[in-house]
Chain A
Amino acid sequence: MKFNDIVDALDARVVARSAAFDDCSADSVIVSDLMSDVLMMEKSAPLIVSSLSSDQTIRTASMVDAVGVVIAQNKPLPDKMAGLAEELDITLLHTQLEKFECCVRLGELLNKGGAA
């Protein structure tokens, strides 16, 4: 899934744009509010969907080589979160959709052959 397709599918706002925004693809999706759960998953180039709006979501994404983070449910973003995402070169998206709806739409996108 390319980011432009993800942004359209989730009606998302791009808060931080990584250097590879236009080129990279998310091959998998991890949905969790527990960061230790995220760290346990072994998926390649994952996109993390969470309603945990915290700097630690970005740091965790960095540790598992995630291509991006989607903060769902319109959770307000802490002041420094966008800056940290830019510093760690991780795309950060923000959407009003609930996590379940995000999963449904991302699943459709993956099934359409949007995956790399």
Chain B
Amino acid sequence: MTTGVVTATRSDTLRHVQKLMQEHHISGVPVVEDGRLFGLVSVDNILRALDFGYIEDTVEGRMTRNLVVLDADMPLTFALSWFERYDFSRFPVLDKEEKMAGIVTAGDIVSKILIEMNKEVNKMESDSVLAPPAASSVPGGRYYREFPIKKFDFERGGSASNEIRRVLKERNLSPKIIRRVAIASYELEINLVAHSDGGKLSCYIGDDKIEIIAKDTGPGIPDVELAMQAGFSTATDWIRSLGFGAGLGLPNVKRASDSFDISSQMGLGTIVKSTVYIDEATLKVCAGQNAMERR
């Protein structure tokens, strides 16, 4: 995103904006007063003003008012999709107070993605040398695995829960138990993606229980009791457009769990633990299965 953008006010003339465009070699000037975005003057607006002879008019009645804007905390991949959806070459970006934070162009996004891709490739190369085994498991025995989860990584969000579900299915646990663990795990994973600064989802499968723990590095939940109420959510519109943020995530996790714990500290992060006990009937099925395998 480009910050420190050249702006105009509503009382400026279009002639003044035309000069700003020439001086700064830009093709669009946002109209901003006290941080609030009122509209945008594009080259097209200026060309029409020259054609129809109102170049000395003030910006207020001639600017483009119906703007599509981006939120400052939107992930780049999401912003990129807006360039496909709308035929614009730039989007104003607003912060959480809905004040103008900057302008983003397709070029800004492509260069940032290239930098991030290079970082990721370097990280993958070093990880492939240094990475310890990700999972510890003996067939049919205890299992523990941690999955790193990145902020706003909706593309891979759910893949850790899918792996956990696969491992549980391999162990022939009852479909009901697998479904409860999968729901708790998936909601916690999506919470890490959508609401945290990133963290880890871990899964422990013991003899009598399955524990899913989501631990993040921030920002923390200001009011945990409120966050547990069905329907309460701090999700932004773009998170909601992905099908989440209805305020049902944590209540869903609690409902799916036999035991549920949550603790959160602002600035430090949140830990949520969901435990599902493997009931006696399931244990018998597993024991029978293991006995058959030993024969």
Q: Which residues of A contact B (CB under 8 A)?
A: 33-37, 39-40, 50, 52, 54-57, 59-60, 62-65, 80, 88
Contact = CB atoms under 8 A, between A and B. Distances in A.
Nearest to A36: B248
B286 to A, nearest CB: 19
Contacts of A36: 187, 244, 246-249, 252
B162 A65 contact: no
A67 B187 CA distance: 20
A60 B246 contact: no
A62 B157 CA distance: 13
B179 A65 contact: yes
Interface residue tally on B, bucketed by range: 20 to 34
Contacts of B249: 36
Contacts of B162: 59, 62-63, 88
Interface string B166-198: 000000000100010011001100100000000
Q: Which 8 A-B pairs have the closest CB atoms?
A: A59-B158, A36-B248, A35-B243, A63-B182, A52-B243, A34-B246, A63-B186, A36-B246
Contacts of A60: 158, 186, 243
Given A36-B252, A56-B158, A59-B186, A64 B243 contact: no
Contacts of B161: 59, 63
Q: Describe A's contact surface by its main secondary structure.
A: helix
A33 B186 contact: no
28 contacts: A34-B248, A35-B190, A36-B244, A36-B246, A37-B246, A39-B187, A39-B248, A40-B248, A55-B154, A55-B155, A56-B154, A56-B190, A56-B242, A56-B243, A56-B244, A59-B157, A59-B159, A59-B186, A60-B243, A62-B162, A62-B165, A63-B161, A63-B165, A63-B182, A63-B186, A64-B182, A64-B183, A80-B155
A35 B252 contact: no
B255 interface: yes
Contacts of A62: 162, 165, 182
